Amino acid sequence: MEMYKERSIIRTNTLPVVPLRGKVAFPDCVLTFEAGRDMTVKAIDRAYATVEKLLFICSQKEVEKIDITEDDLYSVGTVAILKQVVKTTNGVRVFCQGLYRARARLFRFESGHFSAVVDEILSARGDPTLEEAYLRSAKALFKDSIGENAKFTKEVIDRLERIEDADEFVNVATNAMRVRLDIKQEILEISDVVKRLQVLDRCLNDELEISKIEKKIATSVRKNIDKSQKEYFLREQVKAIHTELGDDRKEEDEYREKIEKKNLPEEAKQKCLKELDKLARTPVTSPEYNVVTTYLDQVLELPWTEETQDTELLSDCIKVLDADHYGLEKVKERITEYLAVFKLTKNMKAPVLCLVGPPGVGKTSIASSIARALGRKFVRMSLGGVRDEAEIRGHRRTYIGSMPGRIIYAMKNAGSVNPVFLLDEIDKVSSDIHGDPSSALLEVLDPEQNSTFKDRYLELPYDLSKVLFVTTANSLETIPAPLRDRMEIIQLSSYTLEEKSEIAKRYLLPKQLKQNGLDEKFIKISSDGMKFLIEGYTMEAGVRSLERAVGSLCRKIAVKKADDKDMGGVSLKKKEIETLLGSPKYKREEKRKTEEVGAVTGLAWTSVGGTTLTVEAVILKGKGEIRLTGKLGDVMKESAFAAITYIRANAEKYGIPYEKFETNDVHIHVPEGATPKDGPSAGITIATAVLSAFTGRKVRKDVAMTGEITLRGKVLPIGGLKEKALAARRLGIKNIVLPIENEKDLEEIPENIRKDFHFYPVERVDEVFEIALLEKERRTTVAEKVEKSHPYPVSEIKDGLTDGICCK
């Protein structure tokens, strides 16, 4: 080795090239590596076949690269002599000795391996004193590094202590240190010895600091391990004591195992472990023991990350919804939109749907169908009569027997974090001294807040953002505005006669046949029979009473079937239905047979759908008083006063002497006095009836109307137009007067029904009067009547009024 070091002439050789991955070869050092690439093995074989057994070892720039070119190799490397080559299953293991640094002039790829013409790099010696100073500094730093963390072999330490040559010290020290490959390559390429020592000093300083930090970390870890071992030892002692006392504590181990297996959020996991430590210190006989175990059970039974996969195809979702429900297009369309957007974004906050409509139209059942269509779990929570806030948020654990709220309880039953959650009858929530549940629901139903919903019992944030909440209500009026603002309102209107008939045939009849033990097609109901059943035995917006009526038919047929085993299928028409169910419970409303003064047909909305009502107005001698009868509500009374005030204010326009209001009373009555009535939509109906009574003009019998009136005669919009139109249809009325702002709502009425009507959108009440009121009839005198039948002069006949009436 010495003969190579002391030469002052630059040596030039053409040598096989071995590219190293992840290593840098240094002179004065023994290098061991394994070679598996074909080109590397061929280069080694080539070198080993020569007398000198020399090869040029350089590092590869990109460690992971397999197929390389000359551009992927560092030009500065080390010329080494092969000492031993051992064949292995994956290639060869090589032992060699680094001789001197060299720079490749040109890489060539020939005979399956790289070769290069390399020139020796001689070290540039500077000031010997400065070189010695840096060398001593490097040795001192090296000793300090050994003291902090001994990562060097004894052989390397002994050798470095003996080395006097600075260049050799840098080579051996850098080769032994754990520094980055680019830094090692940098030191290899520097020819100035002092500069090499300077870079080495910097590396040794960094290594010393890293060693100190590692030592500090190791000490800290050891302390923690010691603490854990101490806790384990003490815990084992406690177990032994409990075992001697006959107190089995296996339950704690089971809880600890469950906590570790359950994929809990970090905050929930730490809370459970804290409670478990409390459990370990609590005697089994203590009441607190059961409190803690109950809490742990509640937390561990909750779904924290478990969720179901939504239906893949939109078409499958639509098929399920169509199979379960007839109509309800708005709900189906919204669910399809949600599923489509969710599939595109993969991260969407679930909407909060509020289905509003009369009873029996399928609000509750559609929620269950939504869950089935989406492939999700379904849970239902009824809010009717809930008046305690703790029902929603839970009770604090300070109370005996406290439990989580019904939201968390339902999530536990669902078993997934993304169920369809039905909050039924949200408009029936009330409040008392225990708080306001609707205020607690604000957090539950707000997509911006419910990701960290906190139940008072759990005292942990729980994520409700993936839950698809569906709420139902019969009316929006009793739902607080802030809560209503958080929900997407979908109005469900009454079913038409045709829709009820389809629902009965598709769903209700097959369901009742199955429940009553009859074959699927044992009973058939004709179209006329179904219409008679719906109109004669039900009066509702939905189909609940219709289902009961169909069930009653099935039971009566089942009785006959039980007596006669050979009985065949039954076809029911109007006559057979009446025989089985008795006389119809409800008679079809009839429209007024003649035009009358002071009687107007109005349209109203009720909880069971639309209905018609006749508003009657009579003028009688009196003192200008106004009488309102028929169990009218406050709003309807105010509408009556507004209508009369408008007519009085415009008496001259309508040809009414003003003193007539002073000397006559107005009596307004709405029949069916036992039934409460309220709302502003009868305003134009009352105004028409009052004007008819004052002027004597008759009202058309084929016109029905609805709309609110103002003191200035404007007609304001109303609600429930579809239900009101269906009520007019049942009565046989084809002309409907409605506010012009409700013209857009006509689209909600099915086309096959809309075409039967003539709608009159109006903006002012004067337009209503023009449509509904006939021209005033004139009562003829006796003289006029006699003149037509007698030849003598009319002047000889005494004037007088007859009872004869003729219409213009």
DSSP classification of residue 380: E
Q: How are beta strands 488-491 and 352-356 bridged, if at all?
A: parallel
492 CB-contact burial (10 Å; exposed 0-12 / middle 13-18 / buried 19+): buried
Q: CA 265: distance to chain centroid?
A: 20
Q: Whole-angstrom Cα distance, residue 786 to residue 53?
A: 153
DSSP character string of 137-201: HHHHHHHHHHHH---S-HHHHHHHHH---HHHHHHHHHHHS---HHHHHHHHH--BHHHHHHHHH
Length of the chain: 808
Of 252, 275, 250, 249, residue with least CA distance to 264:
275
Out of 681, 692, 698, 722, the active site residue is 681
Q: What is the DSSP letter of 507?
A: I
DSSP state of 133: H
**Catalytic residue list contains 681:** yes
Phi and psi, residue 757, nearest 5°: -110, 160
Q: How far apart are CA 655 and CA 802, in angstroms?
A: 23
Q: Has 365 been annotated as catalytic?
A: no
Q: Long-range contacts: 391-394, Cβ < 8 Å, 24+? A: 391/437, 392/437, 392/440, 392/441, 392/444, 393/440, 393/454, 393/455, 393/456, 394/455, 394/456, 394/457, 394/458
| Distance from the Cα of residue 160 to its chain's centroid | 68
Cβ partners under 8 Å of residue 621, min gap 6: 663, 664, 665
Nearest to 706 by CA among 725, 692, 690: 725
Given 271, 363, 677, 724, the catalytic residue: 724
Q: Which residues lie across from 81 on neighbouring strands?
A: 54, 97
Pairing of strands 596-597, 698-699: antiparallel
- Residue pair 126/194 in contact (Cβ under 8 Å)? The answer is yes
Catalytic residue numbers read 681, 724
